Structure 1
Amino acid sequence: MVARPWSGHRSCHEGVPISARHPRTHVPSIAEAGAWAEVLVRHQLLHAAVLAPTGQWLVQQRPESPVRVLTGATAMVELAAEIQHRIRTTRNDIR
Structure 2
Amino acid sequence: MPGHRLHPGGPAIRSPNSRTSVPTAAEASAWAEVLVRRRLLHAAVPAPNGQWLVQSASEAPVRVLDGPAAVIDLAAQIQHHTRTTRNHAR
TM-score (norm 2): 0.83
Unaligned ranges ≥5, structure 1: 1-18
* Residue identity in the other structure for 2:82: I
Aligned length: 77
Report the Cα offset of residue 22 of structure 1. 1.5
The runs of at least 4 consecutive aligned structure 1 residues that moved more than 4 Å come to none
Identical columns (%): 64
Q: 1:34 aligns to what?
A: 29
TM-score (norm 1): 0.78
Look up the SS of the partner of 1:49 in the other structure. Answer: strand
Distance in structure 1 (CA, Å) of the matches to 2:59 and 2:15: 32
Distance in structure 1 (CA, Å) of the matches to 2:89 and 2:58: 27
Distance in structure 2 (CA, Å) of the matches to 1:20 and 1:64: 37
* Residue identity in the other structure for 1:75: A
Structure 1 or 2, whichever has the larger Rg, is: 2
